[in-house]
Structure 1
Amino acid sequence: MRIPNEDAAVAAAFERLYAGLRRITPRTALSLTAASTLARLERSGPHRLCELHAPEGVTQPAMTQLVTRLERDGLATRSSDPADGRAVVVSITDAGRDAIARRRAGRAEALSGLLSRLPEDQRAAIVAALPALDHLNDLLMDTRKD
């Protein structure tokens, strides 16, 4: 399959942007996978433990270990699934929400300084693209469920 040059350019730009966002994200005790998992729980609500590993791109044993650490640190809780007592449901705690909020605030502060250095028309173009980027992210989230 041949990828159009425009799509390849978009992919390359996203790779550079992702790397840049990782560099400006304040260093915390949360790994990228831990932060992503907590953000997923915050955004989508409780999930069965077995549903978390594939979207995050890790094995089920690795996710089990991660959830154990999150629970130990008070950032997530486990409970029995009311529909199936054999299954475990993971939920974010208030402390987990606070950790994610602090991480986002630190990144937003760093990004704000950079955005202020862009010309107004480029800042406006980024803001105008946000709905399309959100939709693209929704599509990405759907593909990671498999």
Structure 2
Amino acid sequence: MSADLSLLASDLVVLASRLTRAVRREVDHPAGARALSLLDEHGPSGVTALAAADRCSQPTMTATVKVLREQGLVDRHPHPTDGRAHVVALTEAGRAELARIRHANAELVTARLGATHTAEEVAIAVAVLRDVLDLRPGPSDQEDATP
């Protein structure tokens, strides 16, 4: 890797973190927004799988799910094959809340991007980030639906 690419890669990590923090400061992200996003991305999941996907402890995710259930944003159903376990799924209210958060995020970033960058430039940036995160959309995403 060239020195220039290495410096740019370092900048990318720093700037991505700053962007995330800036959006969270300016947009109301309720506790559990990440869990809602994970459920949307992966579909109904057990608490242990959600905790692993979020890189938090199982007790932390259990508490998060409890709050989300009290708010009506997720629901718990018996696991289809394990009578001892439950699966957490988004409710319609949870989908609506996640859509609200994502819309607010997009509006904030669009306002900042629109004045200086074209849609094509932003599409290239998004493609690069997907490559870095190995998040290319495709049929294999559906096969790996559980975290």
> Structure 1 length as normaliser, TM-score?
0.79
Supply the RMSD in Å over aligned alpha carbons: 2.3
* Alignment correspondent of 1:14: 13
Residue 113 (structure 1) shift: 1.1
Number of aligned positions between the proteins: 135
Identity %: 29
Change (3 A) 1:129 1:27: closer
Residue 59 (structure 1) shift: 0.4
* Other structure's SS at 2:30 match: coil
Change (3 A) 1:36 1:4: farther
5+ residue gaps, structure 1, are none
Q: 1:107 aligns with which of 105, 108, 115?
A: 105
| Greater strand proportion | 1
* Other structure's SS at 1:82 match: coil
The correspondence of residues 1-146 of structure 1 with structure 2, limited to 5 A, is 5=3, 6-7=5-6, 9-25=8-24, 26-28=26-28, 30-31=30-31, 34-120=32-118, 123-138=119-134
5+ residue gaps, structure 2, are 136-143
Change (3 A) 1:29 1:111: closer
> Structure 2 length as normaliser, TM-score?
0.78
Q: Which runs of 4+ in 1 moved over 4 A?
A: none
